[in-house]
């Protein structure tokens, strides 16, 4: 009787051990077994979330687009984030977003509020003078404020043009798309380019006939719009990403050229 009991115990241990070994092999070969997975409805929601188109005349889209600063070299033909902007480029971004042409000074308080509005709390800026160039001017920092200086010395050999073409919202992100053109009017660089470094050539003006694809230095917004609509497929498209922060406001995250 005692031997029979021992035999039953041994058999039971073998069965239990085999079951444990099988379970181990299943878990090893299928590491997700037993792990909480999204419900079908959650997975479906993520897979089927579609962009929501926004009008380019939408108030929020226009406000966010005012943060995109061609004078601060946002159009580099590659992905850029705030860490890629120099201190002076951040200052230009903030000041130009505030400068509506009707003022002569930007207070430090206004500046700091716009800094938070565009970049959030994680980005800091040293207050200092920042100029675009001697022709266009810039912003002189003195007495806890930025004095607006309109420049005016010398002639200009290039201009930058942009046009917001579409906008969309996906989840907590808003994406703005635009077209960018850098025009050099004379010299060896004469032509149209798709980035601030003039490495992406769009068109080279050589003859009077070639001027049909051209933007004059004093082009009106209507002329710029017509040009971009006519030659849009030849002009690089850029995407600007904004993400909604915990306070509900959108902050600039990045700008990049669209392949």
Dump pLDDT digits (tens) for 166-177: 999 999 999 999
Q: Are residues 120 and 189 in the same domain?
A: no
Domain count, the chain: 2
pLDDT at 186 (0 to 100): 66
Q: Which domain holds residue 253?
A: 158-257
Say which residue, 29 or 248, is predicted with more confidence: 248
Which of 104, 122, 149 corresponds to the end of one domain? Answer: 149
Which of 126, 149, 172 corresponds to the end of one domain? Answer: 149
Q: Which candidate, 113, 112, 114, 145, places its Cα nearest to that of 128?
A: 145
Q: Which candidate, 170, 167, 196, places its Cα nearest to that of 184?
A: 196
Alpha-carbon distance 136 to 72, whole Å? 13
Q: Are residues 184 and 119 in the same domain?
A: no
The structure's pTM equals 0.77
pLDDT grade for 48, boundaries at 50, 70 and 90 = low
Any domain includes 219: yes
Q: Are residues 142 and 163 in the same domain?
A: no
Q: Are residues 203 and 125 in the same domain?
A: no
Q: Could you tell me how far CA 28 lies from the centroid of its own chain? A: 42
pLDDT grade for 31, boundaries at 50, 70 and 90 = very low
Q: Are residues 178 and 142 in the same domain?
A: no
Q: Are residues 145 and 223 in the same domain?
A: no
Any domain includes 126: yes
Alpha-carbon distance 170 to 25, whole Å? 41
Q: What average pLDDT is seen over the chain?
A: 81
Alpha-carbon distance 71 to 132, whole Å? 7
Alpha-carbon distance 214 to 187, whole Å? 16
Tokens, residue 30: 């299928």
Give yes or no for residue 249 having a pLDDT over 90.
yes
Say which residue, 205 or 45, is predicted with more confidence: 205
Give yes or no for residue 44 having a pLDDT over 70.
no
Q: Are residues 79 and 139 in the same domain?
A: yes
Which of 131, 149, 167 corresponds to the end of one domain? Answer: 149
Q: Are residues 143 and 166 in the same domain?
A: no
């Amino acid at each position: 009787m005692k031997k029979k009991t021992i035999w039953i115990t041994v058999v039971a241990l073998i069965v239990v051990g085999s079951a444990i070994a099988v379970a181990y092999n299943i878990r090893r070969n299928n590491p997700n077994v037993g792990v909480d997975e999204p419900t079908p409805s959650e997975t479906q929601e993520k897979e089927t979330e579609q962009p929501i188109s926004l009008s380019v005349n939408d108030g929020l889209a226009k406000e966010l687009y005012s943060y995109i600063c061609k004078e601060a070299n946002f159009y580099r033909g590659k992905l850029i984030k705030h860490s890629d902007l120099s201190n002076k480029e951040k200052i230009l971004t903030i000041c130009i977003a505030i400068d509506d042409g009707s003022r002569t000074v930007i207070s430090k308080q206004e500046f700091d509020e716009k800094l938070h509005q565009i970049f959030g709390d994680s980005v800091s800026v040293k207050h200092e003078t920042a100029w675009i160039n001697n022709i266009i001017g810039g912003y002189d920092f003195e007495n806890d404020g930025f004095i607006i200086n309109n420049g005016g010395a010398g002639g200009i050999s290039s201009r930058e043009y942009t046009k917001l073409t579409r906008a969309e919202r996906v989840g907590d992100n808003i994406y703005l798309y635009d077209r960018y053109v850098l025009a050099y009017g004379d010299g060896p660089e004469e032509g149209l380019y798709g980035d601030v470094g003039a490495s992406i050539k769009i068109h080279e003006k050589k003859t009077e006939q070639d001027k049909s694809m051209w933007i004059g230095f004093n082009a009106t917004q209507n002329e710029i719009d017509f040009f971009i609509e006519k030659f849009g497929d030849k002009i690089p498209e850029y995407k600007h990403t904004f993400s909604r922060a915990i306070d509900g406001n959108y902050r600039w995250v990045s700008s990049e050229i669209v392949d």
